[in-house]
Amino acid sequence: EVVLTQSPGTLSLSPGERATLSCRASRTISSSYLAWYQQKPGQAPRLLVYAASSRAAGIPDRFTGSGSGTDFTLTISRLEPEDFGVYYCQQCGGSPLSFGGGTKVEVK
């Protein structure tokens, strides 16, 4: 099973600032099989990025995914008020699928 470790656990930032979220895998995974989701309180997760760097439909270009091997990053270039929430990475390269523990992006 691939274990995904996200850091930091919490990121306290102000609107307009840049957010950098990390996801580290316990073993190498193909970049084709790494996705990022955003979840707001009381809502289901929403797909942001798939295949490590491809934005899902309707996702603004301030969200950028990158990385390969065991280290992946989600960057939000300038935080908008609606971007605060919890972000999860997911590996979908084989069973069992797995998610990271999440990074909470909160208002500073």
Partner 1 sequence: QVQLVQSGAEAKKPGASVKLSCKASGYTFTDYAIHWVRQAPGQSLEWMGWINAGLGNTRYSQNFQDRVTFTRDSSASTAYLELSGLRSEDTATYYCARAIVATIGTEFDYWGQGSLVTVSS
Q: Which residues bind partner 1 (CB under 8 A)?
A: 32-33, 35, 37, 43-47, 50-51, 56-57, 88, 90, 92-102
Residues whose CB falls within 8 Å of the CB of residue 60, separated by 6 or more in sequence, listed in order:
none
Minimum distance from CB of 37 to partner 1 (Å)? Answer: 8
Tell which residue, 50, 3, 51, has the closest CA to residue 27: 3
How far apart CA 57 and CA 16 sit, in angstroms, is: 23
Query: Closest CB to partner 1 among 15 and 28?
Result: 28
Minimum distance from CB of 13 to partner 1 (Å)? Answer: 21
How far apart CA 94 and CA 92 sit, in angstroms, is: 6
Query: Closest CB to partner 1 among 14 and 95?
Result: 95
AA letter at 106: E
Minimum distance from CB of 32 to partner 1 (Å)? Answer: 6
Query: Closest CB to partner 1 among 16 and 28?
Result: 28
